[in-house]
Structure 1
Amino acid sequence: MSEKLFESVGEAVEQIAAVPDTTDHADDNTESEENGPVTDTAADEPQAVQEIESLCMNCEQNGTTRLLLTQIPYFREVVLMSFYCPHCGFRNSEIQPASEIQPKGAKYTFIVESKDDMDRQVVKSESCDVTFTDVALTIPHQRGQLTTIEGLLTEVSESLSQEQPARKLSQPEAYEKIEEFLSTLADLLKGNKFPFKVTADDPAGNSWIEMRPGEPHTKWSKTEYERTPEQNESLGLVNADAQTETETEAAEESVRNNDEEEQVTMSNDEIHTFQATCPSCLRRCDTHMKLIDIPHFKQVILMSTVCDFCGYKSNEVKTGGEIPEKGRRIKLIVDDPEDLARDILKSETCALYIPELNLDLTAGTLGGRFTTVEGLLREVSEQLDMRVFQDSSDSMTDEQKERWKKFLDGLNEAIEGKRKFTLILEDPLSASYLQNVYAPDPDPNMTIEEFDRTEEQNEDLGLADMHV
């Protein structure tokens, strides 16, 4: 159904162009009104945009809503809607995600460094807040939009400017402050305040800021997070009464089983199953847990959660122990195909870099993984290939396709052991691991160094407010 309904704009246009033109032979294909009904050949022609007669909320007469079901490159299917009323001239346009609410919320951060960056596409769903940190501007969640960074700033500027003449008379102080703020927005739009940061935070996970191949994590990053109960309620996934009842039952169950849980001793040969609360629908579900002892590192916990009600799935790797004072950076020079078979533990807080391939995975990407170097890179390749080439539309330019193809070709060469590269793991919690095949002796191709966490990292990890 998705492939049939949500075609790219280019595919829809090609199908329409492929339909033979029958307008010059209308007399041969229609009958006169005396002999029978007249066939409307125009109505049978395929349409890229669907038109629906709908009520105008401004004048309460009928206008026209146009719908375009399409795909956005590197993102997913969306519905573009545009309304126009010929009676009062009212216009409105918005975007609706055609996919379901994602298992986790998503936060995108992008650094605008040039006028070209102002043209980056932005999908802002109806549950997304967009923040321009450097100018203390937050655009709250409202109607969905498909726009650009420049479009967001322009819309805010125009909206504030409309009421300025009235404010000048009734609220002189507010008028002066808004004029100063409008001047700041004008500097941003003219490119006089580069660089600046824009953040899109969507609990539904259906918003997006355009990315381009090879961009470093310092410029574009995506972080996924578990929704709070309040966010689940605002998205309509649960109601307050059901949430309170679920929390009460969970607390009672925890009290009843407290003594039993204290007596449980985990071993590496056992798989433990316990009841938990699904972070998506807040219903009861089972979580499976198993201890794994990693030589020359520590014990880690493999956890798997599946919710039978909403289909939520999660596979994670958790590390235990106290929070270290410093982070850890591991560098490995991969110059032999055998290095690809090394075990690797990438925690949720770990970022991964390969400078030779322009590959940057920010913390939170792919979650926690315990696999091999080859397995991790292959998963990255498959994810990118699916999003870029299988799910993207042919609105991509030839230059963009070539850049992505070159990037993925280089990544596949590294996976096949045909290319030397440097693998860097940077974990502010020192919870990641890369196998030393020479252990307990030092590995000549591997270096491990500690570093001090930045204030921003402590804030993101929740350590800034932690007092013990």
Structure 2
Amino acid sequence: MSEEETVEINEMVIKCPACGVDGIATSIMKEIEIPHFGKVLETTIQCKKCGFKHSDVISLEQNEPAKYTLKISEETLSVRVVRSQSATVSIPEIGVKVEPGPKSEGYVTNVEGMLTRFEGAVIKALNLFDDEVSQTNAKNTLSQIRELIKGNGTATLIIDDPFGQSNIVSDDVVISEIPEEELKHLKTGFSHIEDN
């Protein structure tokens, strides 16, 4: 039996939001109960014609703002991580941070998956910026991320969530309040709330 319990599945054929062809894309919505986290709505849209795919995980429960902190090590690479669309994820020792934006998606992964996402973002940066300083910094960051993925060294994974909808499912996670001053400066991913 799976750890997750699927409560409801809703599947329909829709117009593709990318190519605009009607009746070719599939939209699937599942309400899932995730242990230690609560109910989420998992949505997936996939187009058979153009290959467009969009997935999101939306918490159906609102909680108090929370900071989740976990030491990244070889032993914690498989720890489950739920990142809501409103959360900021960072690894301060490496200097990487992902903040939510209007197209931000929630997802369920593990610590290794979070590192792999950072790795992909740094690789994109390497291709975008060709000046020497950017290249040197990106290559150094990429090397540090890859060492962590291999289980070498330690760092700190921090998820700041203004709506408390994220989670790191581990006995070793430290969950704390976000100080009011920090909370004011957190992005939420909702442009009508953010100060730009």
SS at match of 2:147: helix
Q: CA 1:112/1:163 → structure 2, altered by over 3 Å: closer, same or farther?
A: closer
Aligned to 1:87: 49
Q: Does the 8 Å contact 1:65/1:82 carry over to 2?
A: yes
SS at match of 1:126: coil
Aligned to 2:35: 73
Q: Does the 8 Å contact 1:125/1:144 carry over to 2?
A: yes
Q: 1:159: how far off?
A: 3.0
SS at match of 1:119: coil
Describe how 1:208-247 pairs up with structure 2 within 5 A.
208-212=167-171, 219-225=172-178, 230=184
Aligned to 1:8: 5
Aligned to 1:143: 105
Aligned to 2:9: 49
Q: Does the 8 Å contact 1:105/1:226 carry over to 2?
A: no
Describe how 1:245-324 pairs up with structure 2 within 5 A.
none
Matched letter for residue 178 of structure 1: A
Percent of matched pairs sharing the same residue: 23
Deviation by residue 1:374-417 (Cα, 9 ceiling, x = unmatched): xxxxxxxxxxxxxxxxxxxxxxxxxxxxxxxxxxxxxxxxxxxx
Aligned to 1:60: 20
What is the root-mean-square deviation of aligned Cα atoms in Å?
2.9
Q: 1:176: how far off?
A: 2.9
Aligned residue among 154, 160, 165 for 1:206: 165
- What are the ranges of 5 or more consecutive residues in structure 2 without an aligned counterpart? none
Q: 1:192: how far off?
A: 1.4
More contact order relative to length (CA 8 Å, sep ≥ 6)? 2
Distance 1:126 1:135 in 2: 22
Matched letter for residue 175 of structure 2: K
Q: Whose radius of gyration is greater, 1 or 2?
A: 1
Distance 2:161 2:5 in 1: 24
Q: 1:57: how far off?
A: 3.0
Q: 1:233: how far off?
A: 10
Q: Does the 8 Å contact 2:29/2:41 carry over to 1?
A: yes
Number of equivalences: 184
Distance 2:14 2:187 in 1: 30
Matched letter for residue 58 of structure 2: Q
- Name whichever structure is richer in helix by fraction: 1
SS at match of 1:59: coil
Distance 1:177 1:231 in 2: 26
Q: Does the 8 Å contact 2:96/2:118 carry over to 1?
A: no
Distance 1:75 1:157 in 2: 26
Distance 2:148 2:105 in 1: 24
Is 1:113–2:73 an aligned residue pair? yes
Q: CA 1:239/1:139 → structure 2, altered by over 3 Å: closer, same or farther?
A: closer
Q: 1:161: how far off?
A: 1.8
Matched letter for residue 164 of structure 2: G
Q: 1:198: how far off?
A: 0.8
Q: CA 1:220/1:232 → structure 2, altered by over 3 Å: closer, same or farther?
A: closer
Q: CA 1:113/1:167 → structure 2, altered by over 3 Å: closer, same or farther?
A: closer
Describe how 1:103-182 pairs up with structure 2 within 5 A.
104-114=64-74, 116-141=75-100, 142-162=104-124, 164-165=126-127, 167-168=129-130, 171-182=131-142
- What are the ranges of 5 or more consecutive residues in structure 1 without an aligned counterpart? 1-6, 13-47, 213-218, 241-468
Distance 1:67 1:133 in 2: 35
Q: State the TM-score, normalized to the length of structure 2.
A: 0.79
Q: Does the 8 Å contact 1:204/1:235 carry over to 2?
A: no
SS at match of 1:122: strand
Distance 1:162 1:235 in 2: 21
Q: Does the 8 Å contact 1:84/1:90 carry over to 2?
A: yes
Q: CA 1:64/1:191 → structure 2, altered by over 3 Å: closer, same or farther?
A: same
- Name whichever structure is richer in strand by fraction: 2
Distance 2:161 2:41 in 1: 18
Q: 1:138: how far off?
A: 1.1
Q: 1:173: how far off?
A: 3.6
